[in-house]
Structure 1
Amino acid sequence: MRLSSFLAVFRPALPLILGLSLGCSLSLLMVSWTQGDTDDSCRDELGNGRLFPGRGDAQRDPRDGAGGEDYEPHIVPYHKDPNKPHKKVLRTRYIHTELGIRERLLVGVLTSRATLNTLAVAVNRTVAHHFHRTFFFTGLRSPKVPHGMTVVAHGDDRPVWLMYETVRHLHQHYGSDYDWFLLAQDDTYMQADRLSELVGHLSAGQDLYMGRAEEFIGGEEKARYCHGGYGYLLSRSLLARLQPHLDTCRNDILSVRPDEWLGRCIIDYLGLSCVEVHQEMTYRYFELGKNADPEREDSVQFKNAFTVHPISEPNLMYRLHKRFSQIELEWTYLQIQQLQSSHRQRVNLLRPLSAVEIIPMPYVTEATRVQVILPVTAQDQDFVGNFLDMYVMNTLDTHDNVLLTFLFIYDPFDAQRVSQTDVFAGIKAMIGEVEKRYGDVKIPWISVKTEVPSQVKLMDIISKKHPVDTLFFLASVWTRSTLTS
């Protein structure tokens, strides 16, 4: 009875006890197997490198040292060959030029001597300042050029010749600086913000000829040219491909209209026709009727237009600009009301991240001369010789674009005795020796008398003797590494 009751109590724990006993027994057996005599032989094989196929003693890497490490660093010292001339690397002045970053849009307005001071001025006053760059191309320049306008005169009033010279000028001078080129007439009103937004959504790497598509005279072919009155876009790649054929087009294609001549040239030699829709983006335009009143125009086509044509007088251009400004203001108020009505908590007060604006900033390059200013007091004389040797070795021998100017600081007592005993006579003699050794080098010096020298006062004296855009580097007799090229 006692045994049966004892087993009844421990029966639920019997599987656990049996499992623990079996596990401990197997663990003891495994320990005895792994700690046998084979352990030493394995270590010997591992030490001899024979556990890895193909890595015996005869095939070991000769680069392996005593520690057997395969990937030790190999330092190659740099030795400057004195027999080879020093090669100076000239970098661009602006970082966006070095990185190949281009502006998006350049606008060219075709005008004439008769309308340069009327319609062209109206274009300049209304929308030109909204574009990054706007040029006015004319055949003959007026006697009085309007203020604030960049006018390019080609010397010939023939319309086709003006178009030929304009396209050639844009490619030659700005073909590598802009992604898109907009050509329009001076009787065209342009919505600058909408056109800039349009080119911002187009791929700049494609050949594109975009505007209001028109049929050629006769209308027998499917190809179309872009009407010049409503403006048209030319991509940079198209302009580059068209440039070699401009002379041939000028001699072979006969046309009275310059926009038709350009369209024929693009179609014949590049096989491209004018399009109004590209990449789901539409070039929107509006034809203004005769005696039309901009204040009464309320159609969707008018409100969404990028360009409006024809504009007969400057006053109409200003009225159109006023009307479109009102439309933009109404749209802005409508968006504000929609935000308020929907109780949105976030209001976008910043530009979107995709609208990156590149601001050209000048920076120091080898093409900009650096004026090194070295103030020297009587206590610094013993260290000037070492500084001058370093300057000769690191700038004069390498022909760097650096000019050194000594600023000798006299105290009142030494300044009175300078005609008898010059405390800086030894330094001036060293400067003379350097100038004799390098015949084309001049090292100027300036003498200053002051009891308490300060950097602000010294630079004020120096800056008056140089142009305002001079780049100064204020050094000391202890300056070393900053002079190395």
Structure 2
Amino acid sequence: MIHAGFRSCIPVLIGICLGFTLNVMIAPLLDETCDPSNIDRKQLIKLRETKSLRESEKTSKTIKPAIKPKNYDVPPPPKLENNPHKKPVRPRFVATELGIREKLFVAVLTSQDTVNSFALAVNKTTAHYVTKQMYFSTSKSGNIPAGMPVVSFTDKNKHYLPLHVLKYISEHYSHSYDYYMFITDRTYIRAEKIVELVSHISVSEDIFMGAADFHGEDGSAMCSLEGGIIISQSVLQKVLGNLDWCLVSAPDSNPSRVLNHCVYHSTKTSCTQHGGDKEYRFYKVDDFDYDDDITKLREDWRFNSSFSIYPMPDDLSHFKVHRYFCQLELNLTRQEINKAKENIIHLSHYTVDGVNSLTWPIGRSTH
């Protein structure tokens, strides 16, 4: 008996045998058609040429030859501004891209002789209030106090110093601030009041305001740098557009007249004590001696409400005036606190718990 496993392999063996048999029978026929000896030589040449022609036609349709110039120069790369694939360069800060500006830039006009005394006093009493404060001089000082950015110019004529300051601002800070203030190092300013003043003036207005304490030859009001001058961003742009004219046509006079002359030519407006609905308050002192004059000045409302006091006779008087106004602000703050306490006690009578609802200290929230 034939084993069952061997019986299942019989069809496979028969198939293999039939495959070999058919291959042996058909192979001679295929060899005769592929044998070059059985084909005419002219027919082979014609077949080869026909095949090459078809391949060349196919290649010409897919590949386009590049024609190079005779000198084989590489064409220049496309310009970046015309390149549609150029990656846009974005500003470093979001505020720059959105056009958001800081509030106040203060330019202090100083000198080599006063940078370590008057200018240092200005720096210690105002720098921590304003956004940016820089010092400008017509001569380079050998010993500059730490933390004070001082810019020196080669022009020794101090009358043109405000114009050089404007040129420096145009190159570095022309679009960075809403307002620009110009003072000398003999000016004491209540910087927190100046910041509050410009914060309540619309940035859309043309502002040219300051200590209007003298007049020009034509009778127009002029502001002194010792008392302080404030111009807005819009006025600054008009002035910078005429800066070359100002440098050529500036009167050979004091720096205050030079700056007023330049701004008036650019804007056709004179300096005024008012900006918007706000008033720039200033107080000019003559032969000022703090110890002798403060008793009388403390009773003068114009002195107590002023934003700038000038000119300071020395740096020590600068610090004394600053101490006086700090004490004045402290007393006003205490008065407001006491008034708020009185109002809270008065209103507590109308609550459910009455006076028992008061907390200690008065005004502290329990939530």
Fold match (TM-score > 0.5): yes
Q: Distance in 1 between matches of 2:188 and 2:214?
A: 23
**Aligned pair 1:261/2:262, yes or no?**
no
Q: Distance in 2 between matches of 1:253 and 1:171?
A: 18
Aligned to 1:303: 304
Aligned to 2:149: 150
Matched position secondary structure for 2:116: coil
- Shift of the alpha carbon at 1:270? 1.8
Please point out which of 270, 275, 278 is paired with 1:273. Answer: 270
Aligned to 2:289: 292
In structure 2, relative to structure 1, the CA distance for the partners of 1:324 and 1:202 (3 Å cut) is: same
Aligned to 1:138: 137
- Shift of the alpha carbon at 1:241? 0.7
Superposed CA deviations along residues 41-74 of structure 1, whole A, max 9, x for unmatched, are xxxxxxxxxxxxxxxxxxxxxxxxxxxxxxxxxx
In structure 2, relative to structure 1, the CA distance for the partners of 1:148 and 1:251 (3 Å cut) is: same
TM-score, normalised relative to structure 1: 0.52
Aligned to 1:169: 168
Matched position secondary structure for 1:164: helix
Q: How does 1:334-373 map to 2 (within 5 A)?
A: 334-343=335-344
Amino acid at match of 2:287: K
Q: Is the 8 A contact 1:224 1:263 kept in 2?
A: no
Q: Distance in 2 between matches of 1:289 and 1:254?
A: 27
Q: Distance in 2 between matches of 1:262 and 1:268?
A: 10
Q: Distance in 2 between matches of 1:164 and 1:132?
A: 22
Q: Is the 8 A contact 2:211 2:273 kept in 1?
A: yes
Matched position secondary structure for 2:181: strand
Structure 1 unmatched ranges of 5 or more: 1-83, 350-485
Q: Is the 8 A contact 1:159 1:256 kept in 2?
A: no
Moved more, 102-111 or 151-160: 151-160
Aligned to 1:184: 183
Instruction: Give the % identical residues.
Output: 30
Q: Distance in 1 between matches of 2:186 and 2:160?
A: 19
- Shift of the alpha carbon at 1:306? 0.6
Q: Distance in 1 between matches of 2:158 and 2:222?
A: 16
Matched position secondary structure for 2:230: strand
Aligned to 1:324: 325
Q: Is the 8 A contact 2:110 2:185 kept in 1?
A: yes
Structure 2 unmatched ranges of 5 or more: 1-82, 349-361
Matched position secondary structure for 2:128: helix
Superposed CA deviations along residues 16-35 of structure 1, whole A, max 9, x for unmatched, are xxxxxxxxxxxxxxxxxxxx
Amino acid at match of 1:200: S
* Alignment length (residue pairs): 264
In structure 2, relative to structure 1, the CA distance for the partners of 1:211 and 1:291 (3 Å cut) is: closer
Structure with the greater alpha carbon radius of gyration: 2
Aligned to 2:16: none
Q: Is the 8 A contact 1:112 1:157 kept in 2?
A: no
Aligned to 1:372: none
Q: Is the 8 A contact 1:189 1:311 kept in 2?
A: yes
* Aligned structure 1 segments of 4 or more residues deviating by more than 4 angstroms: 344-349
Q: Is the 8 A contact 1:136 1:151 kept in 2?
A: yes
- Shift of the alpha carbon at 1:347? 6.2
Q: Distance in 1 between matches of 2:216 and 2:204?
A: 31
**Aligned pair 1:90/2:99, yes or no?**
no
Q: Is the 8 A contact 1:216 1:260 kept in 2?
A: no
Q: Distance in 1 between matches of 2:205 and 2:170?
A: 16
Matched position secondary structure for 1:129: coil
**Aligned pair 1:236/2:208, yes or no?**
no
Q: Distance in 2 between matches of 1:106 and 1:246?
A: 19
